[in-house]
Homo-oligomer: A and B are copies of this chain.
Amino acid sequence: VHRVGEDDAMNANEETVRALGEFRLIGSVVPTFTDTTDVLVGSGDDAAQLVADGSVLVSTDLMVEGRHFRRDWSSAHDVGHKVAAANLADIAAMGGIATGLVVGLALPGDLPAVWVRDLAAGMAEELAEVGATVVGGDVTESDALVIAVTALGRVEGSPVLRSGARPGNLLALAGRIGWAAAGLAVLGRGFRSPRVVVEAHRRPQPPYAAGPRARAEGATSMTDVSDGLLSDLGHIARASGVAIDVDSAALEVAEPLQAVGAALGVEPVEFCLTGGDDHALVATFAEGAALPSGWTRIGTVGEGSEVTVDGAVHEGAGGHRHFG
Contact = CB atoms under 8 A, between A and B. Distances in A.
A56 B137 CA distance: 16
Interface stretch (A91-99, A177-185, A265-273, A306-314): A91-99
B139 A322 contact: yes
Interface string A28-63: 000000000000110011111111111111111111
A198 interface: no
Contacts of A109: 323-324
Q: Could you say how many copies of this chain the assembly holds?
A: 2
Interface string A139-177: 111111010101111010001011100000000000000
A104 B60 CA distance: 7
Interface in A99-146: 100, 102-106, 109, 135-144, 146
Nearest to A100: B58
B144 A142 contact: yes
A51 B55 contact: yes
A89 to B, nearest CB: 8
Nearest to A23: B322
A102 B91 CA distance: 14
A138 B49 contact: no
Given A55-B51, A102-B60, A141-B67, A41 B159 contact: yes
Main secondary structure of the interface of A (DSSP, over half): strand
B58 A105 contact: no
A36 to B, nearest CB: 14
A20 B322 CA distance: 11
Contacts of A163: 45
Contacts of A93: 46-47
A252 interface: no
Nearest to A234: B23
B55 A52 contact: yes
Contacts of A222: 46
Interface string A54-88: 11111111111001100000000000000000000
